[in-house]
Structure 1
Amino acid sequence: MEKEKVRTKELLIQVLATAIICFQACLTGFVVSWPSYTVGNFMSNETVLSTPMSSIDVSLLGSLPNIGGLIISPFCGYAFNTFGRKYATILFTVPYILTWLIISVTSSVPLVLASMCIGGIGIAGQNVAIIYISEIAHDSIRGGLTASSASGYFLGILITYALGGNLAYMEVIYTHLGLSILCVLLLLLLPESPVFLVLVGREEDAAKSIAFYRQLDAKSKEVEAEIAKIRLQIDPRLESLLEGDNDPETLGELVEKKLGAPQERKSETAWKHFKKSKSSKRALMMVLIIMALSIMMGCVVLQVYAEPLFKEAAPSMPSNQCAIFLALDFLIASVLCVLAIDRFGRKFLLIVTATGSGVCTVLLGAQLQFHWAPAWFTVLLIYGFSFIFTLGCAVIPFVLTAEVFLPEVRSFCNSIVMAFTWIFNFLTLVIFHPLVEAVGLGPVFYFFSVVCFTGAIYSQFCVPETKGLSADAIQLLFLKQRRQSIKK
């Protein structure tokens, strides 16, 4: 059966809505990158703060957003299931406003550090907000629109580096504050996710939401079909039907023939739904493994060591210029991922970019250990690895997190994945600092290459292709070994 294609009108409105939601990711880029070009001033005797920061303060300045994000992550799923995708996204944008508001009115070191911890709360919510995008997007473009969140993040990094190099300290703060307020105002214009509205029994509002995002008449048969499709996805009998001999392409008929009117759902927590759902458990395990492999491929550690490596390989290039070029490298790669993910699929991009990243890390490790090529080649390898990694491995795990779970456990599982990501990022940095001191940075990159090639192999044999599939069809991929029976 030929997949339904997205129409031009609904494509434009969904892209516009996604851009507004991804504006929040842009704010994340502001918070993450701001310390890198302000730390010099904060540690100097001419600092804008009441007293210069100590080395411990500087460490906290960069790490406290992680603490704030880790603390709030377990509550993100509850917020998105209780307040809705739209209002939870707005709720988690408010911490960005508070962060820049506090910094704008204080010169106290403890208050500046506290504000960065508050910013981490926004980052945690932003990572879960991608489910909002996945639930308003047409299946045929869901991957690209969800991946746009990464582009928003890298755009934020690029913007803040550019601002830091051209504006005064307070001008940067006020710009970030103004943009954070603007993001909230724009989010207020968007309708709620239709999936959430059906979940809470507001089907009339859900029809209006679908009509907006699909550019249809709220009373049309197409909207009724979408409502029925969502009902199917949240019906407690779905997995039992999928475990039979039902082909995913006939699930629309099951709505009428086997499910009939939607069964009244008991008021159960996401945790209880998760315990009952075989597909969600298997999907969560797959996502956690892919996320762990992605983190262990070395990009997190490379970002820590990028500045000294750039100084050694390109001493004449200003550090701010190096940072801008690296942010631009990430941004271009993420945009290409947006354009390619629904054309080539998640699995193909994971395999290709994991393999390419493995080649880059082998060459970079050899270069750092033996210096077999000119110094400029180190810079080329850093940019090359960053580009290839971002093209797939850096983005696709988050796309999978947003699309492989049933609607009733989607927020809950996203919170688990994001909390795992915070912890695993921290452990990676803790482990590799002493490891680098013990064996050197070059040999450590050989380990990264092993992880990259392991990721490629795992993706080939254990990651299902979800391109263009609805939520119910995706569940079948995790319930049965029938992946070949699903037409891509």
Structure 2
Amino acid sequence: MSISRKWREYVAALSATLITAAAGTTVGWTSPTLPILLAENSPIHTTADQSSWIVSIMILCSAASPIPAAYLADRIGTKKTLLLAAIPYIIGWILVMLAGNVPTIYVSRLISGIGYGIAYTTAPMYLGEIASDEVRGSMATLITVMSKFGILSQYCIGPYVSMMGLASFNIAIPILFVVTFSAMPESPYYFIKSGRNAEAEMSLKKLRGKDYIIEELDSMTTLVNENMKEKSRWKDLIRVGGNKKGLLILLGIYFTQQFCGSTAIISYAQQIFGAAEGGFGAKESCILLGAVQLLTSAISCQLVDRLGRKPLLLVSSCGVGLANIIIGAYFFMKHENSEYLVALRFIPIIVIPIFIFSYTIGLATVPFAITSEIFPTHIKSKATCVIQIFVALMTFAVTKLFQVVADNLGEYVAFWGFGLLSVAGVIFILILLPETKGQSFAAIQEKLYSPSEKVVFEKSEDHLGAVRINI
């Protein structure tokens, strides 16, 4: 299905994912800012330990957002919940503009973390519910494309402007999001769940245009009604075998996503390139890194619905594992003052972008597509909530511990650890992940429930299908 026929869906998706571009700015902001804060002539005197907290505390605070975000998404809709995410970002950047000490920066990062958690809990839900089956995967990857755009903006602008100038640029993104997304339709699934079928039809017409067919709305209604017959209970994430399997698969994928070292490399990019002494300047290397991220995420957006989720994740995990091992070997030789180091100074400038390419082509993008499609309607918000809390805690652990391990044991230990966990992720994905490319929600859910659970799937005639779970 061509993008030209789906332009309404893509406009809504691009507008929605401006909030993840704002999230990307909060992640990438530390790369050009920490060298300023750690310099001798720093405007705000900052220690190495404080710098690691500046990086990690935002992610830690984001763990508090998914439960309220999931609740609000069910009560007021995914659109309004996403709009609320802009408020913490705006407040956070105002505090950065006013900051005269480290505690103020801490507070700004804490508040921004609330918006981060809301955005990444709600955006996959919104995109998964407005998208047609044919483009659901590629639309979900826009979350990462826009996030990488936000990160690249920090690498390109941050080293050359003041903290005030960078914060002024960053605050414009959530404001632009509010202006554009306010005009976008709410998810038709939310209206159906609320019993507002006329508004659901209007929403679907806005999203589909000439492709609108009443049968799709009927199928959505049947699917939601059947799913909603099951009570949404937290314990069902573990008690129901299909839910438990889906949750386990996603937690394993997201664990690999974080413990391949991606967030650490992105957040500490300028410091890593500076320590590597790899030929290019650290600032220029970061811009190259950000460009690779953005271009690769755009490529992945096109491949996820063509090649499938599983192949991209396997290629991605293998690539980051190999890159981590090579980068670790380079830092080990640097630590040992190897005589071969001079001849190998090109390694960081080549291998770190290869790492980012490998990471972005699969691990950075595909998990969002799977998250948006793997759970039944009645349990989706709770599952997404658990996943985002898990991701926040894992990301916090990586960003906080990377600096500690690098300072006390050496960068090579951190990268070799990332490499080992990446290889474990390859094995996990190969064994447990089913392919979901181009399949309806009902067909995907059917794969997860074993016959022994006596799951009965009642599919509708439309491609969306409907599912009834009898346990």
TM bin, normalised by shorter chain, reads 0.7 to 0.9
Which residue of the other structure, out of 125, 132, 137, is the alignment partner of 2:131? Answer: 137
Q: Percent identity?
A: 24
Counterparts in 2 of 1:122-271, with a 5 A limit?
Answer: 122-128=115-121, 129-216=123-210, 222-223=213-214, 225-236=215-226, 265=229, 268-271=231-234
Give CA-to-partner distance per residue, 1:40-93, whole Å, 9 cap, x none: 444567655xx6345454333222212321222332211211120100000111
Give CA-to-partner distance per residue, 1:269-310, whole Å, 9 cap, x none: 453665675422221111111211232223344446644542
Worse-matched range after superposition: 426-435 or 156-165: 426-435
- Secondary structure of residue in 2 paired with 1:92: helix
Q: Does 1:76 align with 2:72?
A: no
Q: Does 1:477 align with 2:447?
A: yes
Quick one: distance in 2 between partners of 1:160 and 1:56? 22
Q: Does 1:24 align with 2:19?
A: yes
Quick one: distance in 2 between partners of 1:430 and 1:280? 31
Which residue of the other structure, out of 1, 4, 9, is the alignment partner of 1:8? Answer: 4
Displacement, 1:196? 1.2
Task: In structure 2, list runs of 5 or more residues that go unmatched.
Answer: 453-458, 464-471
8 A contact 2:28–2:155 mirrored in 1:
yes
Task: In structure 1, list runs of 5 or more residues that go unmatched.
Answer: 239-263
Code of the residue aligned with 2:397 in structure 1: it is L
Worse-matched range after superposition: 35-44 or 201-210: 35-44
Code of the residue aligned with 1:293 in structure 2: it is T
Q: Mark the CA change 1:481 to 1:313 in structure 2 (over 3 Å): closer, same or farther.
A: farther
Q: Does 1:412 align with 2:382?
A: yes
Code of the residue aligned with 1:31 in structure 2: it is T
Q: Mark the CA change 1:111 to 1:227 in structure 2 (over 3 Å): closer, same or farther.
A: same
Displacement, 1:437? 6.5
Worse-matched range after superposition: 338-347 or 318-327: 318-327
Q: Mark the CA change 1:64 to 1:450 in structure 2 (over 3 Å): closer, same or farther.
A: closer
8 A contact 2:278–2:346 mirrored in 1:
no
Q: Mark the CA change 1:438 to 1:93 in structure 2 (over 3 Å): closer, same or farther.
A: closer
Give CA-to-partner distance per residue, 1:203-256, whole Å, 9 cap, x none: 111111111111148xx7x23x222222332334x6xxxxxxxxxxxxxxxxxx
- Secondary structure of residue in 2 paired with 1:392: helix
Q: Tell me what 1:325 maps to.
A: 288
Quick one: distance in 2 between partners of 1:464 and 1:66? 29
Displacement, 1:14? 1.1
- Secondary structure of residue in 2 paired with 1:343: coil
Quick one: distance in 1 between partners of 2:161 and 2:408? 41
Taking structure 2 as the reference length, the TM-score comes to: 0.85
Code of the residue aligned with 1:323 in structure 2: it is C
Give CA-to-partner distance per residue, 1:351-378, whole Å, 9 cap, x none: 2222232332333333333466611123
8 A contact 2:27–2:266 mirrored in 1:
no
Q: Tell me what 1:99 maps to.
A: 92
Q: Tell me what 1:37 maps to.
A: 32
Quick one: distance in 2 between partners of 1:109 and 1:179? 24
Alignment length (residue pairs): 446
Q: Mark the CA change 1:102 to 1:426 in structure 2 (over 3 Å): closer, same or farther.
A: closer
- Secondary structure of residue in 2 paired with 1:192: coil
8 A contact 1:210–1:216 mirrored in 2:
no
Quick one: distance in 2 between partners of 1:432 and 1:65? 16
Worse-matched range after superposition: 21-30 or 62-71: 62-71
Which residue of the other structure, out of 348, 360, 363, is the alignment partner of 2:326? Answer: 363
Q: Mark the CA change 1:61 to 1:17 in structure 2 (over 3 Å): closer, same or farther.
A: same
